[in-house]
Amino acid sequence: MQTPAHAALGDLLSYSGERTLLAGTLVRVPLGKREVLGVVWGSRPMAEEDAALEFKPLGTALDTLAPLGEAWRDLVAFAARYYQRSLGEIALAALPPQLRDLSGVQLARRLKRQGSAPVVDAGAAGPSAAAAATSDEQADALRRIDAEPGPFLLFGSTGSGKTEVYLQAVAALLARSPAAQALVMVPEINLTPQLEARFRARFEGRFGAGAVVSLHSGMTNPQRLASWLAAHAGTARIVLGTRMAVFASMPALALIVVDEEHDPSYKQQEGARYSARDLAVWRGRREGAKVILGSATPSLESWHQSRPPEGDDPGGRYLRLAMPSRIGAGALPAVRLVDMRLQPSKTVLSGVLLDAIGQRIARGEQSMVFLNRRGYAPVLACGDCGWKSECPHCSAFRVFHKIDRTLRCHHCGFTERVPRACPACGNPDIAPVGRGTERLEEHLGELFASVQRPDGSPVRIARIDADSTRKQGALESQLAAVHAGEVDVLVGTQMIAKGHDFRRITLVAAVNPDGALFSSDFRAPERLFSLLMQSAGRAGRDAAYLAAQGTTAEMWIQTQHTDHPLFIALRRHDYPAFAESELAQRRAAGMPPFAFQALLRADARTQEAAQAFLNAASAAADALEGAQQVARYPAVPLAIQRVANVERAQMLVESASRAALQRLLAQWQPVLHGLRRTPEGKGVIRWLVDVDPQQI
Note whether 253 and 230 are within 8 A (CB): no
Q: Is residue 382 annotated as involved in ligand binding?
A: yes
Pick the closest to residue 637 from 658, 667, 607 (CA basis).
607
Cis amide linkage into residue 30, ω under 30° from 0: no
Give the CA distances from residue 46 to residues 13, 16, 61, 263, 630, in Å, rounded to whole numbers and listed in that order.
15, 8, 19, 49, 43
Distances (CA, A) of 670 to 7, 9, 508, 615, 634: 11, 11, 52, 16, 21
Burial 211-245 (b: 16+ CB within 10 A, else e): bbbbbbeebeeebbbbbbbbbbbbbbbbbbbbbbb
Q: Say if residue 425 carries a ligand binding annotation.
A: yes
The answer to the question of whether 98 is labelled as a binding residue is: no
Burial tier of 471 (Cβ tally within 10 Å: 0-12, 13-18, 19+): exposed
What is the 3 state secondary structure string of 610-647? HHHHHHHHHHHHCCCCCHHHCEECCCEEEEEEEECCEE
Tell whether 409 is in a known binding site. yes
Q: What is the DSSP letter of 133?
A: P
Beta strands 152-156 and 290-295 are: parallel
**CB half-sphere exposure, 36, CA atoms < 13 A:** 14
Tell whether residue 391 is among the known ligand binding residues: yes
In angstroms, the CA 584 to CA 582 distance is 5
DSSP 8-state class, residue 314 = -
The CA distance from 127 to 444, in Å, is 45
Written as one letter, the residue type at 277 is R
| 3-class DSSP assignment, residue 203 | helix
Residues making up the annotated binding site for Zn(2+) are 382, 385, 391, 394, 409, 412, 422, 425
Residues making up the annotated binding site are 382, 385, 391, 394, 409, 412, 422, 425
